[in-house]
Amino acid sequence: MNNLVYMSALGIVNPLGVGKKQVAANLFSGVQSGMVWRKGLLTDQTVRVGAVTTPLPQIPIEMPHYNTRNNRLMLLALQEIDTEIRQAIDHYGADRVAVVLGTSTMGLSDAEPGIIEKINTGSFPDTYDYKFQEPAGLSEFVAKYYGLKGQAVTISTACTSSAKAIAAARRYMNAGMCDAAIVGGADTLCRLTVNGFDALSSLSADICNPFSVNRDGINIGEGAAAFLLTRTPADIVLLGVGETSDAHHINAPDPEGTGALRAMDAALTDANLTAADIGYVNLHGTATPLNDAMEGRAVAQLFGPDILCSSTKAMTGHMLGAAGANEAAFLWLMLTCNDATLPVPPHLWDGCSDPDIPLSNFAKIGQQSAEGATALLSNSFAFGGNNISLIMGKG
């Protein structure tokens, strides 16, 4: 039996644009136009965020409980692969296509005005709907939208949510619980998360500066990415998954990167690969002092300091629960290139190296991978020491 899981189709929207073609063009060119100043997220000040500014599709009128910006972002991503999804449903049946998605903000951006009114007046407005902020709402919406009757699961593990969703769906498929799955995630800009990271003194004063000695924090971003996972051979395959939970601290990573290192090593073992087989690493790279330091040490220990790598968060912001799927999508976009070398997302920063971070081969705009690179790795790390690494390759 073929246990490989193929990433057959991709739909995407984030601060780099809408759809594979636009996102890829802007990603590989180092475009930062989606990193904008925004009022209203922090009290009495503006903040730099990664924003989606394109109009979003409307939720069907018969689904008012799911009418949130988060679900509209996901719907826009799904529309790009709607034909492939419906073909999978026709082929496998509505009870054999699972929905496994990740989010951390859910529909909080739509619930926040009602919560604020409750605080100020003592009563919720008529427009407030608690279901807007239920984590389950994302996968419930997608399942109902497509009339699916199988598993509909939302995973919320902060910044690893949508990467964990991909891993969970693969387990469901390997366990025989489904034959195909809609996977990925969505997260939306909202006051709760921006103020939360501000309270941790973790927001950058401008566009984030990952792995620089001058880094000062993150930008929050938003976006959605959706893959269709199937057994049918396709161009891109999910080769390996590595997951760990080191539980070092609730909001600070293990400074030695032990859990991150183990996750990457487990993904290599799962893929039956060695470190030398990996042609590029998409770094979690939040531009916070502690995260970048630990990840740099872990990556250099496993792959050596010269591994080709980059953090893409200076182009998108940190999309939180949607980051893992979007950054897996960046690997997907690299791998769909048919040339001997692959385009690489550039690492945008001030070029001022941190002597405590032993990485030296950050990708530049226009850089290509080494010839024959066919296996790529992406890292996602979250609060509580929740770590995951995904390895993808050509099918």
Whether the full predicted model's pTM is greater than 0.75, yes or no, is: yes
Alpha carbon distances (Å) from 123 to 116, 119, 132, 192: 10, 8, 17, 20
159 is catalytic: yes
Give yes or no for residue 147 having a pLDDT over 60.
Answer: yes
pLDDT digits (tens, 9 = 90+) for 339-359: 889 999 999 999 999 999 999
Cα distance between residue 379 and residue 313, in whole Å: 12
> How many CB atoms within 10 Å of residue 27?
25
Listed residue (392, 345, 344) closest to 371, CA to CA? 344
Q: Does the structure show a pLDDT above 80 at 382?
A: yes
For the residues 313-327, what does the mean pLDDT come to? 98
* 248 has pLDDT over 90: no
User: Cα separation of 97 and 119, whole Å?
Assistant: 42
Count other Cβ atoms within 10 Å, centred on residue 384.
18
pLDDT in the model for residue 1 = 38
Segment 189-216 shows an average pLDDT of 96
Instruction: Give the pLDDT of residue 344.
Output: 98
Catalytic residue among 178, 190, 309, 318: 318
- Active-site residue identified among 159, 190, 208, 309: 159
Q: Exactly one of 178, 190, 208, 284 is catalytic; name it.
A: 284
Specify the pLDDT at position 387: 95
| pLDDT score at 241 | 98
Q: Are 59 and 66 in contact (CB under 8 A)?
A: yes
SS3 (DSSP) at 131: helix
DSSP per position, 27-88: HHHT--TTEEEEEEEETTEEEEEE---SPPPPPPTT-GGG-SHHHHHHHHHHHTTHHHHHHH
Distance CA 79, CA 61 (A): 17
Active site residue 347: no
Please determine, for residue 252, whether its predicted confidence score (pLDDT) is greater than 80: no
Beta bridge partners of 100: 153, 183
50 beta partners: 35, 221
Q: What pLDDT sits at residue 251? A: 66
**Domains, in order of start, for the chain:** 5-230 (3.40.47.10), 236-394 (3.40.47.10)
